[in-house]
Amino acid sequence: MTRILPALMMGSALMVAPAAMAQDTPAPMPMQLHAMAQAPALNLSASGEVRVEPDLATINFGVVTEAPTAAEAMRLNAERMTQVVAALRRAGINEREIQTSGLNLSAQYDYVQNEPPRLRGYQANNRVTVRILDLDDVGTTADAVVAAGVNQIDGISFGLVDPTEAENRARGEAVRALQSKAQLYAQALGVQLGGVRSLTEGGGYSPPPPMPMYAARDAIQVTGSRVTPVESGELTVRVDIAGVYDIVR
């Protein structure tokens, strides 16, 4: 017994020691998160618009030819398009303002009920986009290409060669509108308007989609004029902005 007792006591001491060490180690403090309150601000948006006269016209047209064979359809189309390009150059259109926008060859079929489709021939379609920088020449140019062989005019659109100046004017209008709106809100809320925290821009100049030219052709029939009348009108350039203003209570 006397030999075993010290061993038991030593074992008890070893088992108690970890508990004693645990009591001496301080418990970790819980993490504390402090939320920062955002400063009050005004989130506002405004837009600016200016109206300007266009200085660019774009006409989209095409030559469509049909023939019993694909080769013949393409040959006829090439001959007619060559005449059209020559007419454009005689009208004073620079070569760099003429661009092929599409070339297509497709088989044409006749469909009869209860019968298989029957090949009629082939159709070649060559599409061209022309930029005209002198708007007084739009009507005469349209008439010239039709006389040279164009049998499809998709439409005409007006635009700006360089919209930078008009966009900058619209930006100025937008900023003035935004500032006026911010001051109005601050006055109504009884607070002082601070600085601009952020400013973002959207919108801007985008050319309008092409307009069909059938209305101009109706005018030819009514007035008897030999030149297609085309009116360019005005364009609207719009810039949208959004701003965040600090406010002081």
pTM listed for this prediction: 0.67
What pLDDT was estimated at residue 211?
59
How do the domains of the chain map onto residue ranges?
A: 39-53+161-249, 56-159
In whole angstroms, give the CA distance from residue 84 to residue 126. 11
CATH number of the structural domain 56-159 = 3.30.70.2970
Say which CATH architecture domain 39-53+161-249 belongs to. Answer: 2-Layer Sandwich (3.30)
What pLDDT was estimated at residue 10?
41
Number of H helices, E strands in the chain: 5, 7
Which whole number is the average pLDDT over 84-109?
94
Structure confidence by residue, pLDDT tens digits, 124-178: 999 999 999 999 999 999 999 999 999 999 989 999 999 999 999 999 999 999 9
Sequence-distant (≥ 6) Cβ neighbours of residue 211 within 8 angstroms: 155, 156, 157
What pLDDT was estimated at residue 9?
42
Structure confidence by residue, pLDDT tens digits, 15-74: 444 544 455 556 666 666 555 557 889 999 999 999 999 999 999 999 999 999 999 999
Mean of all residue pLDDT scores within the chain: 83
